[in-house]
Structure 1
Amino acid sequence: MENSTIKNQEASLSAGEFLEKKVQRRSFLRYAGAGAAGVVLVAAGCKQSNYNPDDPENGFGPGISLGTGDVAILNYAYALEQLEAAFYTQVIATPFTGMTAVETSLLKDIRDHEIAHREFFKAAIAANGGTPIKNLTVDFSSINFSSRASVLGTAKAFEDLGVSAYDGAGYLLQNATFLLLAGKIVSVEARHAALIREMLETNSFLGDQVDSSSVNISRTPAQVLAIAAPFIKTKIDPSTIPA
Structure 2
Amino acid sequence: MLKSIDNQLEKHGITNNEFSELLLRLMDYGVLCRDESQREQLLYDRYLRLEELVNEYLSVLCIRTQHDTRFQFVRLYPPGSEIPGMADENDPPFKTGLRSRLSKYEVELVLVLRSQYEKALKEGLVDENGCATVSLESLNIAMKNLLKKSLPANVTQRKDLFRSLKQLRLIQYRKEEDVESGEAWIRVRPMIVSYVTDQVLDALQPLIDSKGIDAAPESVVDTENTES
TM value normalised by structure 2 = 0.26
Greater share of strand residues, 1 or 2?
A: 2
Structure with more contact order per residue of length (Cα contacts < 8 Å, sep ≥ 6): 1
- Which one has a bigger Cα radius of gyration? 2
TM value normalised by structure 1 = 0.25
